[in-house]
Structure 1
Amino acid sequence: MSIAHSIAELSDRFFYRANIRLKLFYAMLALIVALIVAINGASQYIFNRDFLGYLNEQAQQRMEEMMPRLELAYRQHGSWDFVRDNPRAWFELMRPAIVEHNGAARNAGPTFTASDLTGAMLRFSLLDASRKLVIGYPNVGPDARLRPLLQDDVIIGWVAQTPFESVIGAIDLRFQQSQFAAQIIIAVVAVMLAAFLVVRISGVLTRPLTRVARATHRLAGGDYAIRVEVESGDEVGMLAQDFNQLAMTLERNEKLRREFMADVSHELRTPLAILNGQLEALEDGVLQPDAQTLRSLKSEVEHLNKLVGDLYDLSLADAGALTYRRADIDLAPLLRDSAALYSDRFSQRGMRLNCELPASMPVHGDAARLQQLLSNLLENSLRYTDAGGRLQVHAHMQQQHWHLVFDDSEPGVPPEVMARLFERFFRVEASRNRASGGAGLGLAICRRIVDAHQGTIGASASPLGGLRVVVVLPARLEDERGGA
């Protein structure tokens, strides 16, 4: 148990706690070592199975060729005494004969075959009928291959061939040791070369990851201006691009957060200051609690309530907790009612409000939220359109969706900031500034409401010179077909 725990602790120290460069080095080095061991093992196995098997087959063939000569020599001499302790006679019997064209065999000097070059004849042994050694290799083991020598179907002796893998002499041992030493040297050189290559490769692979990791630490510390250089188009390059995009998003969000704190504090400070000043004037008797003073106080309170309500709605939308009570409703009456509520305020600024709507605009949605959407869009045009301008509202069906279009007159919005109009607290300072009374939350709430109804909302330049806002909502077609 303690040994296993020690091994696990050692593995945790040298691998799991190592950085990615060391992990890559360990993995690739282990792979190289495993490959070297596997190659050496396979070479040894192939050598024993194929090469030694080939040598033994050559020796077996040589033994088959010499058996007739041994039987003929025994017939001529009547015993094995002529060859006992007579190496010359033994080698003469083992030497192959040259076969002439007429089929006669003759000996013509020293002749060698492939098996002789491997030393196969030194592994032959001649045994008598009782399997006692006559001449040849003395250490005949149980794994030796025996072939009987016959005369008139009677066994007169045996020829034994000791396989190559069973005979290891001093020369064989030296050869084996030299081969093993050569393999060790090759393995060490290969491991050193592999280690060098792994270090270089791991450096190339991990260098961009290291840059991303360092940049991530700086980003986590609040340095949102940090960027990572993108040097490739692979996964690491894509990671660097995603990191840069994340850093840009966080930098923008931080900027919006700071602007939000400044805007909200200003928006709250202004009506609170007015309320505080008017209340102090009432206390000092400068103002009288008449209807005009009460209307002014109520207006500032309503402004505060709207700002707090918008912030609350946005926080619920971001958390996914903004409730929607959907039902089958008609959007046309909602828009007409909203336009009627704003008609007096438009008239007070000398603005014209025109609505061209179908008789019915059936949708499936939350009537209260859609009413809030329409009111915010009307409020946005009322606040930011110059006095004496106009707002044109019309709607039409296109591809099973209602397209509700709001076109107002000057001033317009620069094209480069058009896409940011639906960001919270964003306002075009040049013309649509906080002097108009808006906090930059209305259009952001509109986008949340439209998204919740599976629709889209976008802004573009209006042909009237101001801003065009297009709301696209899915039409409710089932009831229309059913009513038809």
Structure 2
Amino acid sequence: MHTTDSKPGRSVNALDTERPIGSFSSLKVELCVLITISTLIAFIMAWFLLKVELSIWIAMPITLAVALSITYFFSRGLTSPLREMRDAAEAMADGDYTVRVHVDENNRDEVGQLAMSFNEMAEELQHADQMRRDMVANVSHELRTPVSALQAMVENMADGVVEPTPSNLESILNQTHRLSDLIAFLLDLSRMEAGAASLRIDKFNFADFIDETVEPLEIADAGHAHNIEVRVPDDIEMEGDQDRLRQLFTNIIANALKHSADNTSVLIEAHEDRGYCTIVTNVVNFGSQIPQEARSDIFRRFVKGKTGPGTESGGTGLGLSIARWAAQLHGGTVRVVDDPRGADFEITLPKYHISDEK
């Protein structure tokens, strides 16, 4: 698994970023220091000018001008990150997410912290924008392939080049299934963007549910000779939306199969945690491992893994994100846990559904 690296950020105009009194941890302290310095210098200058018997009507304007100049000089350093953030925000509004605000490591006040948070936000927006662009390209490719195949086969049948035999019709049906799956992914994405989805809760046997979920995956995986080993007790009953939970387990198991070498095994084992009233399921892909630093990123939208060295997996990069979303709808979690056997996705779901309605 890997994440797509963001391009290096472009820094906006970094002029006036020197902050002579910007090393304090509080903006209030810096303002107090600025006022104290300006007042002290103005007092000393006024005392000196009066000492040399300069007229007060000349000394006071000179003193005020010097005090204002000092205040202006120091205040530009204090507010320079704010001006940079304004310019960066305007650039981002125009679609340029590569801009960054110059951050001095010595600036530890609220403005410096705000600048660092702004850069983190800009990096997230740049990443999301790049992933969306990649997703559009991937979806376009995924749509074009089955549509082109369908068009070619239907045209050949219409021209009498090929006969509508059961095998040809089955091929057309398979292409329509690919289109349906892709459309389902896009619908799930829109539901995730909305932040919620309705659930149809019923009670069912968990072992039977897993068997029904695994069966079509075994048929689709026939060419790779994977062995899906299921170790689920027969007496576990749970409540939930079977359609959403099937999305969850299908995506996790399909991901394990995709990243397993041919003629290897994938283990699905479950147990009931009676103390927490939850059902814990582990889907283990033997042999491969997921780096610690990538375990949270793989659940982000549009992030795709690698099926081999330098080889990016196909699809839209939504499978694991949809799986986590389906788990969260049920109050559960999906995470990667340490396991010497291989990549281990642990799914924790409540045994009973608690309705939000009162």
CA distance in 2, matches of 1:197, 1:281: 83
- The residue aligned with 1:235 is 110
One-letter amino acid of the structure 1 residue matched with residue 267 of structure 2: Q
Structure 1 residue 413: Cα displacement = 4.9
User: SS of 2:255's equivalent?
Assistant: helix
1:368 aligns with 2:235: no
Out of 267, 270, 278, which is 2:153 matched to? 278
Structure 1 residue 314: Cα displacement = 1.3
Structure 1 residue 474: Cα displacement = 2.7
CA distance in 2, matches of 1:447, 1:432: 26
- The residue aligned with 1:98 is none
- The residue aligned with 2:69 is 196
CA distance in 1, matches of 2:137, 2:119: 27
Residues 274, 384 of structure 1: alpha-carbon distance in 2 compared, 3 angstrom cutoff? farther
CA distance in 2, matches of 1:186, 1:437: 77
CA distance in 2, matches of 1:291, 1:207: 72
Unaligned runs of 5+ in 1: 1-26, 36-181, 479-484
CA distance in 2, matches of 1:227, 1:417: 24
One-letter amino acid of the structure 1 residue matched with residue 317 of structure 2: G
CA distance in 1, matches of 2:312, 2:176: 18
1:248 aligns with 2:117: no
1:296 aligns with 2:155: no
CA distance in 2, matches of 1:414, 1:267: 29
Larger radius of gyration: 1
Of stretches 267-276 and 349-358 in structure 1, the one that deviates more from structure 2 is: 349-358
Residues 296, 384 of structure 1: alpha-carbon distance in 2 compared, 3 angstrom cutoff? farther
Residues 294, 211 of structure 1: alpha-carbon distance in 2 compared, 3 angstrom cutoff? same
Residues matched between the structures, number: 302
CA distance in 2, matches of 1:434, 1:297: 29
Structural mapping, 1:53-452, within 5 Å: 191-231=64-104, 232-327=107-202, 329-346=204-221, 349-398=224-273, 400=276, 401-409=278-286, 413=290, 417-431=294-308, 438-452=315-329
Residues 436, 211 of structure 1: alpha-carbon distance in 2 compared, 3 angstrom cutoff? closer
CA contact (8 A) 2:239 2:352 kept: yes
Structure 1 residue 360: Cα displacement = 3.6
Residues 415, 290 of structure 1: alpha-carbon distance in 2 compared, 3 angstrom cutoff? farther
CA contact (8 A) 2:213 2:250 kept: yes
What RMSD, in angstroms, separates the aligned Cα atoms of the two structures? 3.4
One-letter amino acid of the structure 2 residue matched with residue 298 of structure 1: L
Query: What is the identity percentage for the equivalent residue pairs of Structure 1 and Structure 2?
Result: 29
Residues 283, 411 of structure 1: alpha-carbon distance in 2 compared, 3 angstrom cutoff? farther
Structure 1 residue 361: Cα displacement = 3.6
Of stretches 191-200 and 385-394 in structure 1, the one that deviates more from structure 2 is: 191-200
CA contact (8 A) 1:230 1:237 kept: yes
CA contact (8 A) 2:306 2:312 kept: no
One-letter amino acid of the structure 2 residue matched with residue 452 of structure 1: L
Q: Alpha-carbon deviations, 1:28-54, whole Å to 9, x = none?
A: 9xx99xx9xxxxxxxxxxxxxxxxxxx
Q: Alpha-carbon deviations, 1:120-168, whole Å to 9, x = none?
A: xxxxxxxxxxxxxxxxxxxxxxxxxxxxxxxxxxxxxxxxxxxxxxxxx
Residues 433, 376 of structure 1: alpha-carbon distance in 2 compared, 3 angstrom cutoff? farther
CA distance in 1, matches of 2:223, 2:56: 99
Structure 1 residue 379: Cα displacement = 2.6
Structure 1 residue 425: Cα displacement = 3.1
Q: Alpha-carbon deviations, 1:374-421, whole Å to 9, x = none?
A: 222233333442221111011234451332100123555565544332
Q: Alpha-carbon deviations, 1:52-108, whole Å to 9, x = none?
A: xxxxxxxxxxxxxxxxxxxxxxxxxxxxxxxxxxxxxxxxxxxxxxxxxxxxxxxxx
Residues 265, 346 of structure 1: alpha-carbon distance in 2 compared, 3 angstrom cutoff? closer
- The residue aligned with 1:458 is 335
Of stretches 227-236 and 356-365 in structure 1, the one that deviates more from structure 2 is: 356-365
One-letter amino acid of the structure 1 residue matched with residue 146 of structure 2: P
- The residue aligned with 1:120 is none
CA contact (8 A) 2:233 2:270 kept: yes
Of stretches 262-271 and 383-392 in structure 1, the one that deviates more from structure 2 is: 383-392
CA contact (8 A) 1:383 1:438 kept: no
1:473 aligns with 2:346: no
CA distance in 2, matches of 1:468, 1:385: 12
User: SS of 1:223's equivalent?
Assistant: coil
Residues 254, 436 of structure 1: alpha-carbon distance in 2 compared, 3 angstrom cutoff? closer
User: SS of 1:386's equivalent?
Assistant: coil
Q: Larger helix proportion, structure 1 or 2?
A: 1
- The residue aligned with 1:137 is none
Structure 1 residue 321: Cα displacement = 4.3
CA contact (8 A) 1:346 1:353 kept: no
Residues 421, 302 of structure 1: alpha-carbon distance in 2 compared, 3 angstrom cutoff? same
- The residue aligned with 1:136 is none
User: SS of 2:96's equivalent?
Assistant: coil
TM-score, reference length from structure 2: 0.73
One-letter amino acid of the structure 2 residue matched with residue 471 of structure 1: I
Residues 433, 342 of structure 1: alpha-carbon distance in 2 compared, 3 angstrom cutoff? farther
Question: RCO greater where, 1 or 2, for CA within 8 Å and sep 6 or more?
Answer: 2
Q: Alpha-carbon deviations, 1:346-366, whole Å to 9, x = none?
A: 555322111112334444432
Unaligned runs of 5+ in 2: 1-30, 40-54
One-letter amino acid of the structure 1 residue matched with residue 172 of structure 2: L
CA distance in 2, matches of 1:239, 1:435: 36
User: SS of 1:471's equivalent?
Assistant: strand
- The residue aligned with 1:152 is none
Structure 1 residue 461: Cα displacement = 6.7
